[in-house]
């Protein structure tokens, strides 16, 4: 049966730009996938740079588009924002009853262990299939950056550090910085990558990748001091201890903020302006 073409699900005018939502059949993930895309005014910005946004555990692309409030500043700066879903989905896709594994929790890696390996190829989906798809249907400047929240912050750092000549900057809100060291990451990596060959875990851990960089991509990180997951699940101290002192990293631990999208909305403008400086 032939694959369905790109199907538009939503179209909303926003701050002079357009907030869009699409569905397509993914060959890499072997299931239908949705993604959202914000385009600034195409008359003013016919070839905008592209910011990728990766969402966190149990989220979809809607969490960012509905709650972050990014459209106003993106429209002003002329930045397009692409928001993929967080995992493959469907009745035939492997899942788990807990929110931190399975559907909604793809961890932006390529799984090697059954049953996950059949569908959970999020890294290849994003960096190859979805990347090619959007270039076929939309026109961008060729300049890209990447950002995300929580599990998506982990994904942004890993994808950005693995592709340093592609992304001009990386940013993250409350990222899982050291997944090999914390319960969320250990559970995901054990299932997706296997417990025996833990050497492969290093390929998907920002704390490991940051030590091996040969090309430094500027990074901005915001974390809330009142985040209930800060010490146990996010572990910024370990990541910071592994980052070279001369690395172009700006890290903010801000009082009063938690893990929610209220936190993301409070600093999304700063992140957009950070990326605009590096496009």
Tell me which residues are annotated as active site: 150, 227, 259
Distances (CA, A) of 159 to 17, 18, 126, 206, 258: 27, 27, 9, 9, 25
- In sequence order, the 6+-apart residues with CB closer than 8 A to the CB of 56 are 63, 86, 148, 149, 150, 151, 152, 153, 174
What is the rounded distance in angstroms from the CA atom of residue 133 to the CA atom of residue 268?
26
What is the rounded distance in angstroms from the CA atom of residue 26 to the CA atom of residue 88?
9
Buried b (16+ CB within 10 A) or exposed e, 177-205: bbbbbbebbebbbebbbbeeeeeebeebb
Q: Residue 25: beta bridge partners?
A: 32
């Amino acid at each position: 049966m032939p694959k369905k073409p790109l199907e538009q699900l939503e179209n909303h005018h926003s701050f002079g730009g357009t907030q869009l939502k699409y569905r397509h059949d993914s060959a890499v993930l072997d299931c239908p996938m949705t993604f959202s895309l914000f385009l600034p005014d195409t008359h003013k910005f016919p070839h905008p740079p592209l910011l990728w946004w990766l969402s966190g555990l149990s989220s979809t692309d809607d969490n960012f588009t509905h709650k972050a409030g990014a459209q106003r500043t993106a429209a002003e700066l002329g930045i397009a924002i692409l928001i993929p879903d967080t995992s493959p989905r469907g009745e035939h896709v492997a899942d788990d009853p807990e929110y931190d594994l399975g559907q909604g929790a793809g961890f932006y890696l390529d799984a090697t262990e059954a049953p996950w390996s059949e569908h959970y190829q999020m890294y290849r989906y994003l960096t190859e299939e979805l990347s090619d798809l959007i270039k076929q249907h939309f026109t961008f400047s060729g300049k890209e950056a990447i950002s995300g929240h929580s599990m998506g912050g982990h994904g942004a750092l890993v994808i950005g550090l693995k592709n340093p000549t592609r992304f001009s900057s990386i940013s993250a809100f409350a990222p899982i910085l050291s997944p090999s060291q914390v319960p969320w990451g250990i559970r995901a990596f054990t299932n997706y990558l296997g417990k025996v060959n833990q050497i492969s875990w290093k390929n998907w851990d920002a704390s490991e990748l940051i030590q091996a960089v040969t090309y430094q991509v500027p990074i901005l990180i915001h974390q809330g001091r009142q985040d209930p997951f800060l010490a146990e699940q996010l572990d910024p101290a370990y990541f910071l201890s592994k980052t070279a002192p001369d690395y172009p990293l700006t890290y903010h631990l801000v009082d009063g903020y938690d893990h929610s999208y209220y936190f993301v909305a409070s600093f999304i403008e700063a992140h957009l302006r950070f990326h605009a400086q590096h496009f």
